[in-house]
Structure 1
Amino acid sequence: MSRSHEGGNEVTSVDVVIVGAGFAGLSAAERLSSMGASVLVLEGRDRVGGRSFSGEVAGIEVDLGATWVSGRHAAIRDLAARVGCTTTRQAATGRNVLWMGGWRRIYEGTTPSVSPVGMIDMARVQAALEKLVDGINVDAVWESPNAAALDAISFGEWLDQNRALPNTRALMTVVSKVQWGCSPGDVSLLHVLRYIRAAGGIDHMLGIDGGQQDRITETTQEIARRLAARLGDRVLVDTPVRRITQDENGVTVFSGSATFRARYALVTAAPAHLADITFEPALPVSEDGLATTWRMGALSKALIAYHKPFWRVHGFSGEAVTDTGPAFMTVDVSPADGGLGVLMAHCDPRGFDGSTPEIRRSRVVQQLVDLFGPQASTPVDYVDHCWGTETFAPGGPSPAATPRATMSHARTLTEPLGRIEWAGAETAGEWAGCMNGAVLSGQGAAERVAGRLRLQEGALA
């Protein structure tokens, strides 16, 4: 790393400037640094972790963003172990609650049991969806069989074409809200199929023994914090990138009054947030379209703490699915020490984010009373986070690509643009959209940049 002065401004020079201090950016920085490259990570937020964000309820840290890891998520689990973080098995024992169509039902297992006819219909629709998933090429989704036709309709239109019964559609709506932060009618079928295939199938994506197997005991953001601490002054927060220019010798990255010069830039921002950066030369249409058609979904989370997990005493798991009120799904995320009981509620931002904190709390608690009984009316603490209202890089958990957007723009997710490389959970093939995919994408991009540096200088070992 070196510093110079150009036109009165201090310019910091490194081999690679990385935009974004989420898991992709931090993993790339770690890998490049280990190979001898000088790097700087520029993060616009006042924290690291991206869509992993910790909060506090009743004195314990909890996840307000990305939460679970699968047993097959080797990259994020390895990273967590290397920085000293541990895992806690997701609680899954007991009966689940389904409140749908005005009726409260109890069920066990991953798929809610609405009725014999409903179970048959859900199995039929899921089988049809899995058949399409099996043909998806996650590394080049545009080359999948009938890709253009699959991308021309929304997930909701496909459910209509397959005559999904109301309860089946309601349950698929819950899946869509959790995974893409939108309703089925707002996201491309091809995009949905790509993410399901990347996650190892529907059962693995949704099941406790699959995608929701474990939580990071110290919270997922703590992994990012510890990795950033290892990188030290190579990570700068409160440094939003506003402009990136490039020429035949390198790139110049501008953030307010700060200027950074590098041989290469690695951008890990979500596609929608590329609109916040001015590129010179301008992005081609195929790249620029990502910002408008791969919009971030919206999802809010609430954490509600009780003196103890009272639902377990009554044989309930704490998991519930409902089609009424702001909280459409709940999960037991109580600490493993047997003390506090903590429920996590996934909340639909419509009619939730715009309310005051007091109203949001009141509505969520009342819903928990309906689902789990009067003991839910007396929480000891409450916290929530509305991702769509963040002032910097709003939205989550994943992009909700509109129909036809995948065929038009997905190819550009990983193609370098001159001296700019791309990474992030959205650019991953396998495990796209999750922390594991973000880590893998960052490490892969680091290898590509290192290869280009070797060609240029022959200097990296």
Structure 2
Amino acid sequence: MSRSSAPAVDVVVVGAGLSGLAAARSLTARGHAVRVLEAGAQVGGRTRNHLLAGVNVDLGGTFVGPGQDRILALAHETGCDYHRTHTTGQSAISWRGTLRRYDGTVPTLGALELADIGRLQLIVGRIVAGMRAGAPWETKNAAELDSHTLTSWLRSRRALASTHALFAIVAKTTWGCEPDEISMLYALDYIRGCGGLDRMLDTEGGAQQEHFPGGAHSIAVRMAEELGERVTVGSPVRRIEWRDGGAVVHTDTESLDCRAVVVAVPPAVRGSIAFEPALPEEHRSLGQRWPQGVLTKIYAAYERPFWRDRGLNGQVLSDAGPIFATFDTSPAPDGPGILLGFIGGDYAREFDRLPEHERRLRALSSLASMFGDDALQATAFVDQRWAAESWIGGGPTAVVPPGVLTRYGRTLAEPVGPIHWAGTETSTEWAGYMDGAVRAGERASHECLAALRAVVA
């Protein structure tokens, strides 16, 4: 291993998603020499733009809302405008074979069903209020909560079948998983980091309030343009040799001597990098036990947003699948009309295996069950299967199974020598969102700054 007294750079950042780029931008602004190495062919990580029917659509991270201060500040700094998600008109829920319209944020269900959902929301709210950011294992009854999946916890609380079904939609949308795959403690900590269930799920006043007409990916592109030649794409990091005070980062074409490393990839992808010496056992085990969700996004374009003529705002929930949640991201009332649909968990696993023409047919048929046969007449269609992305491995975020958070959670963002960890999963606020990615990158950069100052001192 090289022990050059003059490292090639101060910090190497592994991964050019929002988190890695935010870390590099922060370090560069403070005068440090930085290189960013990205395995994929483009920057942006789990953000990606696509032109559909002449309109930009976000194949990855899309929405932002109140409390997501860091991504909104970054959007302002990079000149990326955002505007309100369309909500004029009624929402709808396709429930047990019937389409029901409703106003506001709560679907129209029976009185008993609504009371049960409200009861469970209150319980979740009380637990979340007692959780400390960054230390969910300190929560009262943490071990018990971590022994439950979302499904088993709901069962222990005698939730009605309708409540199970609604929380299943939440699990598919939020984590890209089935409710019996995810630790209840992890789900609660995730909800806490969003400021509660309402803020996490709502459009008006919630995490889906705004989106970027020019694409969220544009933020990553503009950060990369600022960094210039410091960013290299198509350069996967294969091996990191580390020691106290420095490291050598190896790709297929170069080896970079540095004083610190920021690894800004999902925890499940950390295992694709060889560390010498090996990481401590708990860090190795965490990467193996912190899998990504399975979420696929589809967009269908139409001559105009015909659903608005029927008083619908384009937001529909469904218990039937494969699409279980939709949004209207049309740029204007006169067209084109753009519907965004989410497919997650088991539905996505099945959908992703289908050939392209079958995926389109299944998706449009699902939209037709919500919006009528006009939805079959799409002028353009695209889907993005994040689980098929080899350098990302899924999304939108991690799906942590029972027993893992209390045992390994402390090591999620814990530095190992000169190695620091970023990525949205490591954030204590808005983990899994673009805002969490930016927060994690900036936090990792501050850790590096402190470590570099300590070495100089």
Q: Tell me the TM-score normalized by structure 2.
A: 0.96
- 253-262 vs 30-39, which deviates more? 253-262
- SS of structure 2 residue aligned to 1:186: coil
The percent of aligned pairs where both chains have the same amino acid is: 40
Structure 2: distance between partners of 1:401 and 1:84? 35
Match of 2:450 in 1: 451
Check whether the contact 1:325–1:363 (CA below 8 A) recurs between aligned residues. no
1:86 equivalent in structure 2: 81
CA shift digits 1:10-47 (9 cap, x unpaired)? x9810000111111110111111111100001111111
1:455 offset after TM fit, Å?
A: 2.1
TM-score, structure 1 as length reference: 0.95
Query: In the TM superposition, what is the alpha-carbon distance from 1:190 to its structure 2 partner?
Result: 0.6
The range that moved more, 399-408 or 434-443, is 434-443
Task: Decide whether aligned partners of structure 1 residues 312 and 383 sit closer, same or farther in structure 2, where only a CA change above 3 A counts.
Answer: same
**Counterpart of 1:396?**
395
**2:264 — aligned with what?**
268
**What's the counterpart of residue 434 of structure 1?**
433
Provide the rounded CA distance (Å) in 1 between the counterparts of 2:434 and 2:389: 20
Q: CA deviation at 1:454?
A: 1.7
Residue 190 of structure 2 aligns to a residue whose secondary structure is: helix
CA contact (8 A) 1:88 1:336 kept: no
Q: Check 1:392–1:284 CA distance in 2 against 1; reply closer, same or farther (3 A cut).
A: same
Distance, in Å, in 1 between the alignment partners of 2:202 and 2:98 is 24
Alignment of 1:305 with 2:304, yes or no, is no
More deviation in 91-100 or 395-404?
91-100
CA distance in 1, matches of 2:353, 2:128: 36
Partner of 2:414: 415
Paired with 2:321 and 2:137, the residues of 1 have a C-alpha distance of: 38
Measured after TM superposition, the shift of residue 457 of structure 1 is: 2.3
Check whether the contact 2:245–2:455 (CA below 8 A) recurs between aligned residues: no
Q: Aligned to 2:299, what secondary structure does the other structure show?
A: strand
User: Bigger CA drift: 245-254 or 353-362?
Assistant: 245-254
* Post-superposition CA distance 1:357-390 (Å, at most 9, x none): 1111111111222211122121111011111112
In 2: Cα distance, 1:290 partner to 1:389 partner: 22
Aligned twin of 1:329:
325
CA distance in 2, matches of 1:249, 1:80: 34
Q: What RMSD over aligned residues (CA atoms) do the two structures have, in Å?
A: 1.6
Gaps of 5+ in 2: none
Contact 2:301 2:339 in 1 (8 A): yes
Matching residue within 213, 237, 242 for 1:241: 237
| Cα separation, 2, equivalents of 1:168 and 1:100 | 12
Q: Decide whether aligned partners of structure 1 residues 447 and 325 sit closer, same or farther in structure 2, where only a CA change above 3 A counts.
A: closer
SS at match of 2:352: coil
Native 8 Å contact 1:188 1:401 kept in 2: yes
- 1:147 to 2:142 alignment: yes
Check whether the contact 2:150–2:180 (CA below 8 A) recurs between aligned residues: yes
1:56 and 1:383 in contact (8 A); partners too: no
1:46-195 paired onto structure 2 within 5 Å = 46-195=41-190
Secondary structure of 1:149's counterpart equals helix
The answer as to whether partners of 2:305 and 2:333 remain within 8 angstroms in 1 is: no
Q: Any runs of at least 4 consecutive aligned residues in structure 1 with deviations exceeding 3 A, and if so which?
A: none
Secondary structure of 1:256 counterpart = coil
What per-residue deviation string (whole Å, max 9, x for no partner) do you get for residues 256-315 of structure 1?
A: 132111011111111101111111111122111222211000000000011111101110
Range that drifts further, 230-239 or 332-341 = 332-341
The aligned residue for residue 368 of structure 1 is 367
1:320 equivalent in structure 2: 316
Give the partner amino acid of 1:38. Answer: A
Q: Distance in 2 between matches of 1:132 and 1:347?
A: 29
Aligned to 1:344: 340
Tell me the distance in 1 between the aligned counterparts of 2:388 and 2:420: 29
Q: Which amino acid aligns with 1:393?
A: I
**Contact 2:65 2:208 survives alignment (8 Å):** yes
State the Cα distance separating 1:353 from its structure 2 match. 0.4
Question: C-alpha distance in 2, partners of 1:337/1:121?
Answer: 38
Q: Report the Cα offset of residue 393 of structure 1.
A: 2.1
SS in 2 for 1:327: coil
Change (3 A) 1:325 1:414: closer
Tell me, yes or no, if the aligned pair for 2:46 and 2:392 is still in contact at 8 Å. Answer: no
Q: Give the match for residue 16 of structure 1.
A: 11
Is contact 2:165-2:319 (8 Å) kept? yes
